[in-house]
């Protein structure tokens, strides 16, 4: 038998165990081992039932990602699952941890499913631009009902075992730890109770007006939510086949749709970013992995960023102290954190117990002497080098000599900031993105002096905080904001050429961006970028550089907070409307600068914007500020609303250049 799959007997029950660490993925060895073990159990006359269980921390968590993009190896998963479902002896899937993708499809092909409390199931294939390809779109609607299947498959969400029980996906739950014992008892119970075993392929779904109405409603919902993604709609098409075709025909069509999705640019892009995010979390070979544990932290500055960063730590049960210059500002910061958590409770994102628990992890002080024993201090003060020098000199005096000192600066030279301390090896950038407690991206910025221990500690901490953490080098704007400046600069140039803010924003939203670039500027405040550009030690010698944005900032039109920016905002509703006076103002400035006016197609706008990002990314790579081009894709997908299904600007540009 395969080493990844083994079989042993407990009286009349055969126990088939999968042992393919770390997540028992459905590799070729597992698939072939399953077929051989089931055949052996069927051939043994003393065996009356089969328990399928997995060793380690989880049930089958999905396909073997190392096989992605390679020619498929036999036996194919649909054939393996047909063997399970067609087995003349009942098979019970014993689920713990997660049963995802092919793992849940395997469980659905079994006759019964038993799960431990707290385990989760799901079909997340749409997140890779795919659909379930081994019967998931045919078996789940038959077992859980049409609406539940549409919800799970088109969203890819994971469902807790307790909810899965209500759906009928799971037959029985258990809170006991000995899953094998429970599964064997369950097997013996059904042998005394049942004469035949339920097979999902034999369940009929009616092609009724009610079900057609459900499909119609869900197609409208999914089309709106998917915003350009193909796989959720392909999944809907396959689920529809479950009510209109026979099981065998539905399986055949599902496989065809799966293979079409697999070959699509969207799936290739989504698989690229899937692997890119895992690669970004790994240290370069040149950096030794010698992290220390961060048990206590402090944040210097209780403004918007400081509060959000503090919540990041409290959310992960790490004690954090907010430091402000006076008691009034400290009280304002702590009160604002309390209000944010209260809103999360009201919206259902947090329980009252969770709110109370997190608040116990947050304290405050106005005295740097209180930092004597913290492991990590993150400075989140005003973007001014003199201010930061003053803070870091104080930290050097009051903190332990081995405490890590981080700055959340978005643009400033971290090497210059580190010059204020005696030991710059413990200085690093931790560039969070606003709102820090929500945004997934974290740039860890190293300088030449930063030690391997400091770097590896911050990369490990980023993962602990639930962030997509990317290691980059020091330089004005680092990687993320430097590329975003290139994106913004190209948009501002096209405004001078005659594109209106609404045309620019709509083009990029149609392309897949979460928001258009001028709408983002209005939301964040046009003065933020204006002031940041003033900090650039080497500004471009170009009178057109961000001229429209500078023009508005100099007139006090700062966006939503002033009621006027690239758009005009209704004071009561906050709704944006086109501002023709601003369009005329930009056009007048363009004529003064001698910028030729022209009509640009939506496609040209989109291509110029993305090309600007990718070109800057190539420059960043040539300067050694990033380890991999895929790291830059991770930054854009997780930090700037770049459509995940396009894989990131570097992947997209490389794919169209091939």
Catalytic residue among 12, 67, 125, 338: 125
In this predicted structure, what is the pLDDT of residue 175? 86
In this predicted structure, what is the pLDDT of residue 648? 96
Convert the pLDDT of each residue in 271-306 to its tens digit: 999 999 999 999 999 999 999 999 999 999 999 999
Largest CA distance in the chain: 92
Place of tokens 């992995």: 289
Q: CATH 1.10.1040.50 region(s) of the chain?
A: 486-624
User: With helix as H, strand as E and coil as C, how does 581-632 read?
Assistant: HHHHHHHHHHHHHCCCCCCCCHHHHHHHHHHHHHHHHHHHHHCCCECCHHHH
CA-wise closest residue to 108 among 203, 208, 17: 203
- DSSP conformation class of 562: G
- Sign of torsion over alpha carbons 388, 390, 396, 399: negative
CATH code of the domain occupying 297-479: 3.40.50.720
In this predicted structure, what is the pLDDT of residue 657? 62
Cα→Cα distances 472→418, 629, 640, Å: 16, 11, 17
Instruction: Dig out the tokens for 153 from the structure.
Output: 């498959």
Half-sphere exposure of 207 (CA within 13 A, CB side): 7
In this predicted structure, what is the pLDDT of residue 1? 47
Q: What is the distance between the alpha carbons of residues 552 and 355, in angstroms, rounded to a whole number?
A: 41
In this predicted structure, what is the pLDDT of residue 44? 95
In this predicted structure, what is the pLDDT of residue 2? 56
First to last CA, the chain: 44
Radius of gyration of the chain (CA): 28
Q: What is the distance between the alpha carbons of residues 601 and 273, in angstroms, rounded to a whole number?
A: 29
CA-wise closest residue to 487 among 603, 601, 646, 611: 611
301: region left, alpha or beta (phi > 0 left; psi from -120 to 50 alpha): left
* CATH of range 486-624; options 1.10.1040.50, 3.40.50.300, 1.10.1200.10, 3.90.470.20: 1.10.1040.50
Convert the pLDDT of each residue in 322-360 to its tens digit: 999 999 999 999 999 999 999 999 999 999 999 999 999
**Residue 105 annotated in active site:** yes
pLDDT-flagged residues of the chain (< 70): 1-2, 657-658
Strand 297-300 and strand 320-323: pairing? parallel
In this predicted structure, what is the pLDDT of residue 658? 56
Q: CATH 3.40.50.720 region(s) of the chain?
A: 297-479
Protein fold of 5-262: 2-enoyl-CoA Hydratase; Chain A, domain 1 (3.90.226)
Instruction: Dig out the tokens for 328 from the structure.
Output: 């009034």
> Is the distance from CB of 539 to CB of 545 less than 8 angstroms?
yes
Q: CATH 3.90.226.10 region(s) of the chain?
A: 5-262
Cα→Cα distances 646→60, 488, 652, Å: 29, 19, 6
In this predicted structure, what is the pLDDT of residue 655? 82
Q: What is the pTM of this model?
A: 0.91
Catalytic residue among 85, 105, 443, 490: 105
């Amino acid at each position: 038998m395969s080493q990844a799959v083994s079989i042993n007997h407990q009286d009349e029950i055969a126990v088939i165990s999968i042992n393919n660490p770390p997540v028992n993925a459905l590799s070729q060895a597992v698939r072939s081992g399953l077929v051989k073990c089931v055949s052996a159990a069927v051939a043994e006359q003393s065996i009356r039932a089969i328990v399928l269980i997995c060793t380690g921390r989880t049930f089958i968590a999905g396909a073997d990602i190392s096989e992605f993009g390679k020619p498929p190896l036999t036996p194919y998963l649909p054939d393996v699952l047909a063997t399970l479902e067609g087995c003349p002896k009942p098979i019970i899937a014993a689920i713990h941890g997660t049963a995802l993708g092919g793992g849940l499809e395997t469980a659905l092909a079994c006759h019964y499913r038993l799960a431990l409390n707290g385990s989760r199931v799901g079909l997340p294939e749409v997140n890779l631009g795919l659909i379930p390809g081994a019967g998931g779109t045919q078996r789940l609607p038959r077992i859980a009902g049409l609406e539940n299947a549409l919800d799970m498959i088109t969203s890819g969400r994971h469902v807790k075992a307790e909810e899965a029980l209500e759906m009928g996906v799971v037959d029985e739950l258990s809170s006991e730890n000995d899953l094998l014992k429970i599964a064997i008892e369950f097997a013996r119970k059904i042998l005394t109770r049942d004469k035949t075993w339920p097979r999902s392929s034999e369940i009929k779904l009616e092609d009724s007006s009610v079900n057609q109405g459900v499909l119609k409603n869900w197609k409208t919902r999914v089309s709106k939510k998917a915003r350009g993604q193909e796989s959720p709609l392909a999944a809907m098409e396959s689920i529809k086949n479950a009510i209109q075709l026979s099981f065998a025909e539905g399986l055949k069509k599902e496989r065809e749709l799966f293979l079409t999705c697999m070959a699509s640019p969207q799936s290739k892009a989504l698989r690229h970013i899937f692997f890119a995010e895992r690669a970004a979390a790994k240290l370069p070979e040149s950096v030794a992995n010698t992290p220390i544990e961060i048990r206590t932290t402090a944040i210097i500055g209780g403004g918007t960023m400081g509060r959000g960063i503090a919540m990041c730590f409290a959310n992960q049960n790490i004690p954090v102290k907010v430091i402000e210059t006076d008691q009034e500002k400290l009280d304002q910061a702590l009160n604002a954190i309390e209000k944010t958590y209260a809103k999360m409770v009201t919206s259902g994102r947090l329980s009252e117990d969770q709110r109370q628990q997190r608040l116990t992890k947050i304290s405050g002080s106005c005295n740097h002497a209180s930092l004597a024993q913290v492991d990590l201090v993150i400075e989140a003060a005003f973007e001014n080098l003199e201010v930061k020098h003053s803070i870091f000199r104080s930290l050097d005096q009051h903190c332990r000599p081995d405490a890590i000192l981080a700055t959340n600066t978005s643009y400033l030279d971290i090497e210059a900031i580190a010059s204020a301390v005696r030991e710059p090896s413990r200085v690093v950038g931790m560039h969070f993105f606003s709102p820090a407690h929500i945004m997934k991206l974290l740039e860890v910025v190293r300088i030449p002096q930063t030690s391997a221990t400091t770097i590896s500690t911050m990369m490990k901490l980023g993962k602990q905080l639930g962030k997509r953490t990317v290691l980059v080098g020091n330089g004005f704007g680092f990687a993320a904001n430097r590329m975003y400046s290139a994106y913004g600069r190209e948009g501002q140039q096209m405004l001078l050429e005659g594109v209106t803010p609404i045309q620019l924003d709509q083009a990029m939203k149609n392309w897949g961006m979460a928001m258009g670039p001028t709408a983002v500027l209005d939301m964040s405040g046009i003065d933020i970028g204006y002031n940041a550009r003033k900090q650039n030690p080497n500004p471009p010698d170009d009178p057109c550089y961000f001229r429209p944005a500078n023009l508005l900032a100099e007139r006090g039109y700062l966006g939503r907070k002033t009621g006027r920016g690239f758009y005009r905002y209704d004071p009561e509703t906050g709704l944006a409307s086109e501002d023709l006076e601003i369009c005329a103002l930009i056009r007048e400035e363009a004529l003064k600068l001698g910028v030729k006016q022209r009509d640009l197609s939506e496609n040209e706008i989109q291509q110029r914007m993305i090309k600007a990002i990718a070109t800057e990314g190539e420059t960043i790579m040539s300067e050694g500020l990033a380890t991999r081009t895929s790291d830059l894709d991770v930054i854009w997908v997780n930090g700037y609303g770049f459509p995940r299904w396009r894989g990131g600007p570097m992947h997209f540009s490389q794919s169209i250049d091939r």
